[in-house]
Amino acid sequence: MAEAPRIAIDAMGGDEGLAVMLAGAALASAQWPGLRFDLVGDAAAIGAALEAHPQLRAVSDIVDAPETIEGSEKPSQAIRRARTTSMGIAIDAVKQGRAGAAVSAGNTGALMAMAKLALRTMPGIDRPALAALLPSLGDNDFVMLDLGANTECDARNLVEFAIMGAAYSRIALGIAQPRVALLNIGTEDQKGTDEIRDAAAILRDSAHLPMAFGGFIEGDKIARGLTDVVVCDGFSGNISLKTMEGTARFVTDLLRRAFTSSIRSKFGFLISRPATELMRHHLDPDNHNGAVFLGLNGVVVKSHGSASPKGVANAIGVAAKLVSANITQRITEDLACIKADDQQADHQ
């Protein structure tokens, strides 16, 4: 990591709140030396909790926030309290340039609304998208977006998502030319909505983009390791994500039930335990925690509300990596490539 940034952490967000967020920050600090933190929330409570994390205390500033965004709170209500809540103050630290990124495990809708209002979308980006790294059977994880920020998207939105997802993939996965595909109901050119087909046509004609556009991919293939970036509207993406998470839990619970059904099956579990532990590690959501709002003038990362300290640390690591690699500059450069293709097409 070239330069360790300062990360503003909404210390009061998440299902478990302060204890898990600070434990995660402490793990991140040990894993990525040089990181500094703004810990935003109830100053007295944070100060007391830091007694258990002296190394974190040494690299952190406490920023008092008198209020917290509730999980059930509507985004429209949350926005009105942005200046007094831990979530809003953490985002404002990014806006003011005090922090390079904000991390929160709180209300997703409120986080998106606050971040978009405070940071605004980048020039050339119509809508920000929620992106995450997900496990696959290939040699690396894959990026998927949008995962719920935009339920309806036109062709240009999907093209912008592809550009942002490819930039994220190059940073997070180290892939120079990420393979990009559009989620569709079939792989044939005539399949899907007009928006998906039009987006595919634009991406096929964009020769200067640093990606390898592979056309369409169906839902049952997205985790097979066939592509590095899967692009879709937020409605389809959120359903796909929840289906994958549910399937992973289903398989895990089914195996647990099968292995405890009899003495013979328990013996079988002991023999197969190395394989089941490998599967459990691969499907552990904490190992892929940290969804990113791409397309904003600043980095905002959403940690899962139920994440463990290890998951929170991973989300902080995602934020630090994106800041250090200047994700917004990468996206800006790629947007310039597609503009050059548009201008070339106009002159032909």
pLDDT along the chain (348 residues), means of 10: 79 87 95 94 95 95 94 89 94 96 93 94 93 90 93 94 95 93 94 95 88 94 94 95 83 76 67 56 68 95 90 94 91 80 53
How far apart CA 148 and CA 152 sit, in angstroms, is 10
Nearest residue to 45 (alpha-carbon basis) of 68, 19, 6, 71: 19
1-122+295-324: CATH number = 3.40.718.10
Instruction: For CATH 3.40.718.10, list the domain ranges present in the chain.
Output: 1-122+295-324, 126-290
Q: Provide the pLDDT for residue 228.
A: 96
How is domain 126-290 classified at the CATH fold level?
Answer: Isopropylmalate Dehydrogenase (3.40.718)
What DSSP line would sit under 7-25, residue for residue? Answer: EEEETT-SSSTHHHHHHHH
3-state secondary structure of 177: coil
What DSSP line would sit under 61-120, residue for residue? Answer: EEEE-SB---TT--HHHHHHTGGGBHHHHHHHHHHTTS-SEEEE-S-HHHHHHHHHHHH-
Q: Provide the pLDDT for residue 1.
A: 42
Task: Tell me which amino acid residue 168 is.
Answer: Y
